[in-house]
């Protein structure tokens, strides 16, 4: 085998191993939990990749640099979570509890945030 072919095989193998490692790192769950608030917005948006994105008003106000800011939490929902998507569409404007997993990184086809909601419950 020539030196060029050997180098090419090593480069291809390195790219494959790096890609597998990066996907494994990116899909690692950094944290998980739940947040409760008023569902303000939930939509399917995007130019190339249509993703489900939402905003939850956690209530109260925070002060940052002398200005009052709303306490809004942004999240994404994966396309395969049909039950969650249906629930969020149904409960817009209501007080809900969202269970989520925070990933290390997100890919463009998954959503715009690192927070991925997988369960929704109405809070009485």
Residue 96, pLDDT > 90, answer yes
pLDDT at 62: 60
| CA pair distance 79, 90, nearest whole angstrom | 17
Mean pLDDT of the chain: 85
pLDDT at 66: 57
Residue 106, pLDDT > 70, answer yes
Domain parsing of the chain, residue ranges? 29-122
Q: How far is CA 2 from the centre of its chain?
A: 46
Q: Evaluate if pTM is beyond 0.75.
A: no
At 62-73, the pLDDT tens digits run 666 655 566 888
CATH classification code of 29-122: 2.40.50
| CA pair distance 11, 66, nearest whole angstrom | 53
Residue 29, pLDDT > 80, answer no
């Amino acid at each position: 085998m020539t030196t060029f072919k050997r180098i090419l095989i090593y480069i291809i193998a390195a790219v494959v191993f790096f890609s597998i490692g990066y996907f494994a790192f990116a899909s690692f769950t950094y944290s998980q939990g739940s947040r409760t608030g008023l569902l303000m917005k939930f939509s399917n948006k995007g130019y190339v990749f249509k993703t489900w994105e939402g905003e939850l008003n956690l209530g109260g106000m925070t002060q940052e640099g002398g200005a009052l800011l709303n306490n809004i939490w942004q999240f994404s929902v994966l396309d395969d979570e049909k039950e969650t998507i249906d629930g969020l569409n149904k409960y817009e404007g209501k007080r809900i509890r969202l269970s989520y997993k925070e990933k290390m990184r997100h890919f463009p086809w998954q959503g715009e945030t690192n927070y991925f909601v997988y369960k929704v419950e109405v809070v009485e």
